[in-house]
Structure 1
């Protein structure tokens, strides 16, 4: 971000084998058909065009034998290398870092080819902004202006010549750096001039929390001839700007470039940014909770509410836990373990049923230990290539899609977040259980969100993207539209599970990371995924959908991978409805979403939903109308088919009651 890069591999008008660079303006987005059943008829999707090769970093030596390799795959960056053939000592290296203002190519003994499939209109050599920095201003036939800076290691003029409408060629056997940036406004040119000659090579995340306040930083290591006396120019996303500390905010410029799916990015002159989150959800626990009452964690249930809970809890606790939890799916198993954990917690702490809860807890412990003993249907494996814990399902069946692609790292935060939550509840109610299970649960946490580069067995933050402020669900699968995430709520579920597991085992650092991730998620999800009517980051033609559906790096599509029913599309951003839901899903958002989709007479009137999504929708409704939700869940003729396999009626009654729905 904010650029899109693709290895051209002989495609396009330029037939180049270099790295193609594009930047998409909002005006270039393509929109799907209007969903006329939804109020204001929002468009179903929008997508940014692929294959535009505005400028291409390449070399005269590149052709059909060119190979691409990568190294240094880190949390915010990766290095990409192009060589004319395997083993060639002549190489083009590009350090790709989130937020970089320039696309930088480091040339070693190559003849630079700067190509364009959009066609060069004019190329003008400009005065050197700094000694040893050669500058060219390029206008393409689409009218867009780009800047090129060349910094030869030897100091020799790269002597770029416009050979054709698709080729700008430099000197042979050249060594040095070439930087390319898009110029949206001539008045901003000086910012690029000042920053030229330095570029980020990698990024680091750090954070600190105390009580309900936290700071986290993104900082970058630098390369380039001017790295010692130039400050980086980096692009920030909207949720960054909203949380910058005062010093970082003072470095914000007026230079903006659109991103593909995250609104406008804004250039910042700084080698590191500091963001603040001053309302960490430290009082959030296992019980129903509201941010507005975050200082008061007391739960008081009326006798009527307790009776309503007790009326169903014993029956739900007597279900066959093993049959529901020991499945051939880490996802569905985790959901069931978490469901029963929340049920047992509700019975023990909220509904005055300690004896029944103890009996159910013992069965739940036995079910969990099937997994911690790794004797589940598809035991987990440690993968030495990508350094992670994966299901053996695809290894056994040969089907890469088994268990939603867990063997290929799809959805690990979705799957393991449920296990963390279940373990947190069990350990809270029975600390002796932790002795034999703590290492297993910690391993799942490390797989998804190991915070330390000193941990040799797992990468740093596999799923959570500290630049975008949320996780990605895509694993080891290629995708023309980049990474994606479908369930924003299950993203938050992992952070919540991490927080609560840290709290249970007394790991204050883990608990603080979970709190910070929840706060950052609340900010980013409300910026990009959960769209109120005043959202300015997603296109106006799209925000009426209320949720993005599947958010990719290159498109947003108001649908799901498993069906197009509107209760699915909205509901996948609700599940599981848990104590954290009121943090990420604001009352304004829930009210707008309910009116749009689920109110009486609306396009997907909640009374007409007939499956487990009905319970999810009404549990979500408790955020704004707990009385109506409570009345729904306690009705005499309640149909248990309205409860999803990952939820319990016991919890939903308690949730709506504590949020204010039970009669006094």
Structure 2
């Protein structure tokens, strides 16, 4: 299948998600595809002060103020205002940074009608003609998933959950779709507060905190008569007690509604018709909470609801923990709320939390069954952090006992290095792409590392060192073809290229991929030459890249906390400020953990133990999450059985998984889909990609096509074999009839041979 074919196929898949009430979303720019920016929305007047604007961090432990926290962005990065402004958000210099790559970002884009997933619920602003305007929401079950293109195929190419089924819509008398808007406040990594108003009167509003894992959709009505619409329709409506209602919809799904009346006088809900539940009077500070199912745990939690969620974490030795701390408003009989978590959470829940299991389970869109707990905190304990994996080659195969090179291996590695150090590093790296240039820098930094520590050849090392330094300094001094600029609107470091270039970097696509290569390359050079990071230009450049992607604190006024990595999902999202009906997505698990690995190594170079601990914890979380949700061993119990045989997810969205990439499937078969989840191969690869999984993927998907692959993807796939069979990989990389065209432009034969031989290939 060619590039045009896969692009059209992906567009059709995306369109198949859309209900009659949703317009087509603009496509996400694939790697290398130019894309016009979305329409620029009008800037909204500032309605209220964002509570997060005060520099007061509520995250703690590993997530307190970190590297260069609060310091001005270096002056080499010109300050600009992004052409695409966030909708419904105040973005003055004093306002908190707005998240660009997390779950709520769709609400900041275009007309705000694209869905967001708090999990297990999906929610969206609806302005459809002749329907109730407001905030609609739903939950879908695994039985509703759509598989295709052949519904009976095994494996299926994709599956998705039907979007925008309006189980309920939070609306009010006087709301009109043409004037409905949601103002977003209290921006956090794991939460945001939406205030819905109509006609410009923001004092009369529905306030709905949107928080990852929230058990209730909680709406605070102010000076409005509540209307709860349902396009599914209400079959049964029963008032169970003064503040509790049981609702069965025509799809036979039961929901529970709780009302907390904070005003004087009677307040009640009644069924007006099968599509409308209405209040008997105007509400002022009345809280309506709706949840799927019925449970005594809901009864014990009703009345309290999370308004925000903050990160906490700690590391002790090779064990670590991270937690989501929910800040509540209101009161419940238990003093707690109900929160939902994913399999990679509840597998390692702290005993103090797991004992609060409600017994309820609901399906998530793409990450298995969720469990709920009566708690104000979710705390996960991750054992086996990769503290022993540093710069040296490492492998999880049982035969690996430590790095050891034979003289014959060193001789072949030296021969490869002698050829590769003569290449034009500066010319190859100084190009118009942060992503590709980063791969080139990383390639030669690894060759430098091998010359210094494996070959211990000072002549080769000194020949290459000045060229690598010169190439990195071009970027450190921001003198590349498209310099980076600081965007004062969304608050981030972006390319000055137009939005469709460099895989959408200027619209916040792929920053962890792009900047991860640069950071890792600088760490390798700093390992060779510790004084390298004492250069202020190098230090400030690397620090700013790290702050853009992975600022530790929620109080840095210049960058949002953890822009790319989603601590709830357990992996990053590459998708920036493009509205999408499927939610955020990522297509390369390996370049995701490569960023965290580069962050870990750089932290070692500057003796920042907090950053190193945070990176180790990120890698442990990724290992668990990715092996459930992106990399599929035969015994995977999380993903649908008819999808496991793909072995990798392809593109993981919040609402679908598609065994594809944005740039094609492969020259021969599906090798690009597998390869993009492999590159680059480094010591951390074997920590994430287990020998069991790699062997299954190889034998079931790749071994039969490997001899036909003519290009650089072949080298990636065979270097990956070293994660379970280094002898096979060594035989291919050490052969006499070597062909440079069969390795990726970000790979070197020098590093490949050094890694393979170190883990047992020779």
Same structural fold, with TM-score higher than 0.5 when normalized by the shorter chain: yes
**Counterpart of 2:179 in 1: which secondary structure?**
coil
* SS of alignment partner, residue 489 of structure 1: helix
Is residue 2:645 matched to residue 1:529? no
Q: Which moved more, 1:580-589 or 1:449-458?
A: 449-458
Aligned partner of 1:41 among 140, 154, 170: 154
Query: How far apart, in 1, do the equivalents of 2:316 and 2:448 lie?
Result: 31
Q: Distance in 2 between matches of 1:498 and 1:648?
A: 22
Matches of 2:149 and 2:206 in 1, distance apart? 42
**Could you tell me which residue of structure 2 aligns to residue 397 of structure 1?**
none
Q: 2:288 aligns with which of 168, 178, 197?
A: 178
The CA deviation at 1:252 is 2.2
Contact 1:19 1:57 in 2 (8 A): yes
Residue in structure 1 matched with residue 644 of structure 2 by the alignment = 543
Please, which of 326, 345, 348 is the counterpart of residue 449 of structure 2? 345
CA distance in 2, matches of 1:223, 1:466: 23
Distance 1:295 1:214 in 2: 25
2:310 maps to 1:210: no
Q: Give the Cα separation in 2 of the matches to 1:66 and 1:7.
A: 9
Tell me by how many angstroms 1:61 deviates. 1.7
**1:649 paired residue among 740, 745, 749:** 749
| CA distance in structure 1 between the partners assigned to 2:367 and 2:478 by the alignment | 40
Equivalents in 1 of 2:292, 2:752: separation in Å?
Answer: 52
Displacement of 1:453 in angstroms is 2.7
Q: 1:35 to 1:67 in 2, by over 3 A?
A: closer
Contact 2:261 2:287 in 1 (8 A): yes
Q: C-alpha separation between the residues in 2 aligned to 1:122 and 1:35?
A: 34
- The aligned runs of 1:469-508 (5 Å cut-off) are 469-508=570-609
3-state SS of the aligned residue for 2:557?
coil
1:106 corresponding residue in structure 2: 220
Q: Where does residue 495 of structure 2 map in the other structure?
A: 391
Contact preservation (8 Å) 2:135, 2:170: yes
Stretch moving more, 157-166 or 340-349: 157-166
TM-score by structure 2 length? 0.82
Q: Is 1:323–2:427 an aligned residue pair? A: yes
Alignment pair present for 1:66 and 2:180: yes
- Is the CA contact 2:599–2:611 (under 8 Å) kept in the aligned structure 1? yes
Partners of 2:396 and 2:690 within 8 A in 1:
no
Higher RCO structure (Cα 8 Å, ≥6 apart): 2
Out of 331, 347, 371, the residue aligned to residue 242 of structure 1 is 347
- Give the deviation of 1:294 after TM superposition: 12
1:271: Cα distance to partner?
A: 1.0
Q: CA deviation at 1:51?
A: 1.9
What do residues 222-259 of structure 1 show as CA deviations (whole Å, max 9, x unaligned)?
01243x85212100100001121221222223100101
Question: Deviations for 1:289-335, whole angstroms, at most 9, x for unmatched residues?
Answer: 02468997x52111111011111111111111112111111000111
1:3-82 pair list within 5 angstroms: 3-10=121-128, 15-34=131-150, 41-63=154-176, 64-82=178-196
CA-to-aligned-CA distance 1:610-633 (integer Å, 9 cap, x gap): 111000000100111100100000
Please provide the CA RMSD for this pair: 1.6
| Alpha carbons of structure 1 residues 35 and 488: separation in structure 2 relative to 1, 3 Å | farther
Distance 1:432 1:347 in 2: 18
1:464 alignment partner in structure 2: 565
Contact residue 94 and residue 103 of structure 1 kept, 8 A: yes
- TM-score, with structure 1 as normaliser: 0.94
Contact kept? 1:136, 1:148, Cα under 8 Å: yes
Aligned to 2:273: 164
> Separation in 2 of the partners of 1:369 and 1:357?
18
Shift of the 315–102 alpha-carbon distance from structure 1 to 2, 3 Å rule, reads: same
Q: Which one is further off, 150-159 or 42-51?
A: 150-159
CA distance in 1, matches of 2:235, 2:201: 37
Report if aligned partners of 1:35, 1:44 keep a CA contact under 8 Å in 2.
Answer: no
Match of 2:95 in 1: none
Q: CA deviation at 1:569?
A: 0.5
Q: Secondary structure at the match of 2:367?
A: coil
How far did residue 88 of structure 1 move?
Answer: 3.4
How is 1:232-631 mapped onto 2 (pairs within 5 angstroms)?
232-291=337-396, 298-394=402-498, 400-436=499-535, 437-565=538-666, 566-599=670-703, 602=704, 605-631=705-731
User: Secondary structure at 1:53's aligned position in 2?
Assistant: coil
Cα distance in 1 for residues equivalent to 2:529 and 2:756: 27
Partner SS, residue 393 of structure 1? coil
CA 35–371 in structure 1, closer or farther in 2 if over 3 Å, else same:
farther
Cα distance in 2 between the residues matched to 1:273 and 1:28: 29
- 1:199-223: per-residue Cα shift (whole Å, max 9, x none)? 1111111111122111111111001
Superposed CA offset, 1:585-638 (max 9, x none)? 111111110011112xx3xx1111111100000010011110010000011112
Aligned residues of 1:281 and 1:294 also touching (Cα < 8 A): no
Q: 1:88 to 1:202 in 2, by over 3 A?
A: closer
SS of residue matched to 2:574: coil
Cα drift, residue 192 of structure 1? 0.8
- How far the C-alpha of 1:355 sits from its partner, in A, is 2.3
Q: Structure 1's 507 and 237: CA in aligned 2 closer, same or farther, altered over 3 A?
A: same
> What is the CA–CA distance in structure 1 between the aligned matches of 2:514 and 2:502, rounded to whole Å?
10
Q: 1:150 to 1:295 in 2, by over 3 A?
A: farther
Unaligned runs of 5+ in 2: 1-118
Contact 2:148/2:159 (8 A) holds in 1: yes
Report the Cα offset of residue 435 of structure 1. 2.1
- Counterpart in 2 of 1:141? 250
CA 1:35/1:93 → structure 2, altered by over 3 Å: closer, same or farther?
Answer: closer
Shift of 1:369: 0.4
Distance change in 2, residues 1:501/1:159 (3 Å): same
Cα distance in structure 1, aligned partners of 2:644 and 2:265: 52
Count of residues in correspondence between the two structures: 637
